[in-house]
Structure 1
């Protein structure tokens, strides 16, 4: 019998997490930093491959996280209360998975111990997006993949290399 304590994300309600715990649920994929459009007639979310100007499109980190909301007017600070109403987070999002009582996958930094695995698993936007400074019309950049989970994304253990 093992005497392992379950990880905090399996035992602590989202609303009771410390700031450090809450922030660590972010897997660093960068998908939430992509521009989205909302279809007027259907209210459907349309994903684009256009990144916020502050997103480093290789590392998927915000280049000015501390001041992002001053610099980007529509940037939000995600809270547990907001999770019930937001419909544009990717299905692989750590916040969504924990909210729904699902396990974090092998590539999540809290499980793997490194931020590199989110890129290795093909979950991040690294190398797949363009900055808003270069994109032009958002309507020309509508794509499906940010709202979808890559193959093997929900595996609990690293799948064998193909």
Structure 2
């Protein structure tokens, strides 16, 4: 059995902890909120009552959630969730179109509705499918978790939820 020298364990542990601190205390982490400004590759987002700026580059994976016919670009007012490293670079970015500001308050009637009735209520365009903006406006709004959960529920990758996908998504809301 090989014995690992204590100084090597300490060095590896210190390196890991410094990287973790840089990601948490510096510019890194998960940022979610409303986009305040876009300046070239620099994006500023309103995250937890603070402005946070990070960079995107050609390695950044960008998911435009439920954009359908909208131009796939990032603009002020859009919502996003970004995974940012300790150097301020974004590895993964989820972007959604603007969502109305009013609070979601489920009524007693909504709590008694069937999934099909909720689907019809959420489908404000009447096209038989629920986009992310419709979903976030009527059912569940979370800049941090919403786009990812919505994308996972969109099994056919159409950018919208059909009734079956919508029912599945409702089960995932806690």
User: Which one has a larger percent strand, Structure 1 or Structure 2?
Assistant: 2
Which structure has more relative contact order (CA 8 Å, sep 6+)? It is 1
TM-score (norm 1): 0.30
Which protein shows a greater Rg? 2
